[in-house]
Structure 1
């Protein structure tokens, strides 16, 4: 028992606590009531996601909640990971019966005994509309177990999310409707109402467009619904429920508006033939927010920004929206000088974000000392922004006759190669925007060095995870092109400023063309070639672990205390 407790302590220590909240004094009383109802809806979304990740997740969670005495460390680890598996260590709850050593590849979107071949053969027998749903975001696949006969498995069938999670979605729908009547902003009210309807109808397209239309004047930003496909490691097609409540940062959002108009400019400059470029990209709204609460598909490492929706039909109809979560990246203070005068060291620590707690110490361990002068929070923040914008760049459908989604062609390789695409295209975009003068700072040297340090931050998430694998691919490729170099005498990495630009351009071209061609075998070969951890990288990762540098941050939400303050 003591060794298991120590194991949980070690996992918790990998994620530095960060206090997340915002000043709610300018919110109306009705808006604060709405926030309380939205938090309750988020807790329901959390339960839906636990079901989606693994069929035994809820039972394990209930066991941890109701154990006497309750093991608070075990419960915290479960809540951070959203299940019994760590991305690096595998199973961390070995005493729970019937728990597989690794998360089922298909989560709980498919029968655990279903093979890819069975799914693909079954889909071919379906009518066209049913095929679309089987390969779509919003239906689970189940097996008619009552038809099992003489060892022969029962047939597969589709079940919409609205039925599979009806007990929780019905209650969440009511809470969204109640909240829609309380918020001041009409566009937010419309989204909450239509998203509530989507939970019951299983039709999400209209409410996705309504989410994109939430006014720039709304004090509250809400993202709720089935979005990301990382949990489906089998095909990358089934979307998981997630939930965010944010308070909008109006001044910072205004500052970043200039990037919204640069999407087509970057697209036109991409180092690929014209047929791989989009000609009618919609300007991406960019909003900056402070996170108040999150639930569902939000396991650590914490999201610093997101670009949604992922539904290609919704993107064609309404474009996409980029949300930058400032307090996760930067911490609670815009002016970090304030920290030096705060005598409460613990509070100061809780006020620091990803950059100060994670990236800065990694850089000082990994980067050649003479290049540390180029480490920059602004470069980190701006590249996160450009990464999310770059998800909109490049082909989303295959090139040539009878185009289909890139996602459907690349399947289990899509998430990792898409994350690599966004990272490297974002870095390419930074150089281009500096060249044409739309960006004047940070310098390109700051972008490159900060990007190199951040590569180790992402790889520490584990290469079984899309962001970690995507970053590993980039690091190995750029090293092979001479853009990055390792000095065995100092055990440090550095940027070769004479070679890095061509390496970035070459990798951007390779990935975009692989996506446009939709050649799954070629992508697999590429990932096999560049997706492994080299000896010098492994030794560096071990050093970071030995130095006790956290992998990421973990949230301590202040919203309950903030709401209570205004009720009293």
Structure 2
């Protein structure tokens, strides 16, 4: 591994007191008293061994429907995505930009240094997310809970005292998506993203305007223009609405800007920059649109009291795409689908849109999920693993982010603001388990004719092992761990001690899915952070049989490492 001295990062690691704090944080990673230990065996893998956990995979899209202008627009958007990657590194850790530059300077020296840079870029930082954020670069501190969007020495109590003295408008900004909290002359202060990351956002904005002038579809161009302006004004609401209005005839799709809050482990409040660039799959989109029309039926049948339900859900439109490039907050594991926007005000005004990334899903199923199923499932259950069940459950998962309470019952407060650091894991768990609940409803009503309930349950069981391998420090991994432990305890999933394989009890699984859906949604609707913490501490740990099974997956890839061949070729043509 590459060695470097801590003095390189003088902006954040200065003085003996700070150094001691950093060492204490690093030591905490290996403490036996942590609630959620790494999933893997205790030996420390090399960088090359870590890279071997990700299967290098070309991701392609059909560009035949694109105009020459669309081709040029894709290159502009890929260049903008690279700038948002730099912005993300600055958001994620104060030391990340300097470390990234140092790794780049040394990458040409030897294979080890090149591998370290490759892993850094794949994981978007020097921490291995699949091993409880274990640093893989010597001298790096523990991953900061507040990333670099809050002062490193600020705690929740100081933040609460500070916000209580702000105007309502500034308090909302402090708790909102788009402002950094900095320490200026000893006092906390707000800095808009447009100012904090101007060196990246200004050129990215120019590139997006240029792409807008090249794109063949006017509605897509209007989104790019609105988003380009938002990067400079720090006002994102209008561009969120514009994104929702992109025509279903547009051959291009993209989600560009600050979206997800997973990196903010203090409050799950600050959005991090990303860019996902796609080409629309028209045929697959048409096949799946009918499913969203059943969302209100699912909501009406949720196993929760009436006051927790939404009586007027607007079904999100579905877009199926193939990915051609990604930047910013796009660490492995690659996102296979998303339901945006996350801004509750934008959702209230214009709803949301579900995007399924088909080429990424196919790659994950073929390279990761099938080998996992062959290792951990019984021979009988293995017969019931299918891509159709995997793809459709991902669809239901994303649609079901809209289900259940988003505000605390009897209040205008968001669930996010109450559950704070555990919100993301519970939201992912809710979407997963409600997606299985929805699958049964749809099958019972004859709306899904080609996938059995056992296929959904069994494919989901294999997928659970896929997700927990991302590490319990990651929201999807923790959300999945809580579900897996609960379903094993309640007999939905069963373990054969002799064969060391897992299977499904369909009858008990159906009851457990309904009960778990209820438990999670009640915690969310009550804004019950203490209840959420108790639930996480009870179920966010793995049984020995699960740990042993994970260890047997050592040679199975954790995820894919994408190669954006289409963009490589388009960039080469423009040189």
TM-score computed with the length of structure 1 as normaliser = 0.91
CA distance in 2, matches of 1:539, 1:6: 18
How far 1:3 sits from its partner (Å)?
12
Residue aligned with 1:490, SS:
coil
Residue aligned with 2:47, SS:
helix
Q: Does the 8 Å CA contact 1:486/1:494 hold for their aligned counterparts?
A: yes
Matched, 1:450 2:459: yes
How far 1:51 sits from its partner (Å)?
0.7
Give 1:333's aligned residue. Answer: none
Give 2:483's aligned residue. Answer: 474
CA distance in 1, matches of 2:573, 2:148: 41
Unaligned runs of 5+ residues in structure 2 are: 5-43
Residue aligned with 1:486, SS:
strand
User: Residues 562 and 291 (structure 1 numbering): CA distance in 2 closer, same or farther, change over 3 Å?
Assistant: same
CA distance in 1, matches of 2:67, 2:137: 48
Matched, 1:262 2:262: no
Q: Does the 8 Å CA contact 1:133/1:139 hold for their aligned counterparts?
A: yes
CA distance in 2, matches of 1:2, 1:275: 56
Residue of structure 2 aligned with 1:22, choices 42, 61, 72: 61
Q: Does the 8 Å CA contact 2:2/2:137 hold for their aligned counterparts?
A: no
The within-5 A match list for 1:62-141 is: 62-67=101-106, 69=109, 71-89=113-131, 90-96=133-139, 99-100=140-141, 102-141=142-181
Aligned CA-pair RMSD: 1.6
Residue aligned with 2:506, SS:
coil
Unaligned runs of 5+ residues in structure 1 are: 148-153, 331-352
Q: Does the 8 Å CA contact 1:434/1:441 hold for their aligned counterparts?
A: no
Give 1:180's aligned residue. Answer: 212
Residue aligned with 1:554, SS:
strand
How far 1:285 sits from its partner (Å)?
0.7
The within-5 A match list for 1:25-36 is: 25-36=64-75
Matched, 1:230 2:262: yes
How far 1:441 sits from its partner (Å)?
2.2
Deviations along 1:331-371, one digit per CA (max 9) or x if unpaired, are xxxxxxxxxxxxxxxxxxxxxx1111111111111111111
Matched, 1:299 2:331: yes
How far 1:560 sits from its partner (Å)?
3.0
Residue of structure 2 aligned with 1:322, choices 337, 354, 369: 354
Residue of structure 2 aligned with 1:398, choices 408, 416, 422: 408
Deviations along 1:422-477, one digit per CA (max 9) or x if unpaired, are 00000101111111112112100100111111111101111111001100100111
The within-5 A match list for 1:140-155 is: 140-144=180-184, 147=185, 154-155=186-187
Give 1:362's aligned residue. Answer: 372
CA distance in 1, matches of 2:472, 2:382: 26
User: Residues 498 and 260 (structure 1 numbering): CA distance in 2 closer, same or farther, change over 3 Å?
Assistant: closer
Matched, 1:288 2:312: no
CA distance in 2, matches of 1:291, 1:107: 28
How far 1:194 sits from its partner (Å)?
0.6
CA distance in 1, matches of 2:88, 2:258: 9
CA distance in 2, matches of 1:92, 1:512: 35
How far 1:94 sits from its partner (Å)?
3.5
TM-score computed with the length of structure 2 as normaliser = 0.90
Residue of structure 2 aligned with 1:431, choices 437, 440, 446: 440
Residue of structure 2 aligned with 1:251, choices 283, 289, 292: 283
Q: Which runs of 4+ in 1 moved over 4 A?
A: 1-6, 564-568
Give 1:529's aligned residue. Answer: 538
CA distance in 2, matches of 1:501, 1:461: 26
User: Residues 91 and 494 (structure 1 numbering): CA distance in 2 closer, same or farther, change over 3 Å?
Assistant: closer
Residue of structure 1 aligned with 2:391, choices 359, 372, 381: 381
Give 1:345's aligned residue. Answer: none
User: Residues 299 and 564 (structure 1 numbering): CA distance in 2 closer, same or farther, change over 3 Å?
Assistant: closer
How far 1:283 sits from its partner (Å)?
1.9
Matched, 1:563 2:573: no
How far 1:567 sits from its partner (Å)?
5.4
CA distance in 2, matches of 1:409, 1:158: 22
Q: Does the 8 Å CA contact 2:103/2:117 hold for their aligned counterparts?
A: yes
User: Residues 498 and 25 (structure 1 numbering): CA distance in 2 closer, same or farther, change over 3 Å?
Assistant: closer
Residue aligned with 2:557, SS:
coil
CA distance in 1, matches of 2:247, 2:446: 29
How far 1:23 sits from its partner (Å)?
2.8
CA distance in 1, matches of 2:124, 2:323: 19
- Number of corresponding residues: 532
Q: Does the 8 Å CA contact 1:267/1:393 hold for their aligned counterparts?
A: yes
CA distance in 2, matches of 1:553, 1:265: 36
Deviations along 1:244-279, one digit per CA (max 9) or x if unpaired, are 110100000000010121211111111111111111
Residue aligned with 1:283, SS:
coil
CA distance in 2, matches of 1:554, 1:46: 16
Deviations along 1:152-176, one digit per CA (max 9) or x if unpaired, are xx11011110110011111111111
User: Residues 317 and 52 (structure 1 numbering): CA distance in 2 closer, same or farther, change over 3 Å?
Assistant: same
Deviations along 1:295-348, one digit per CA (max 9) or x if unpaired, are 000000111111111110011111111110000111xxxxxxxxxxxxxxxxxx
CA distance in 2, matches of 1:93, 1:366: 28
CA distance in 1, matches of 2:422, 2:210: 40
User: Residues 203 and 3 (structure 1 numbering): CA distance in 2 closer, same or farther, change over 3 Å?
Assistant: closer
Residue aligned with 2:403, SS:
coil
CA distance in 1, matches of 2:456, 2:545: 23
Deviations along 1:62-84, one digit per CA (max 9) or x if unpaired, are 00111251621111000011110
Q: Does the 8 Å CA contact 2:2/2:138 hold for their aligned counterparts?
A: no
CA distance in 2, matches of 1:142, 1:124: 17
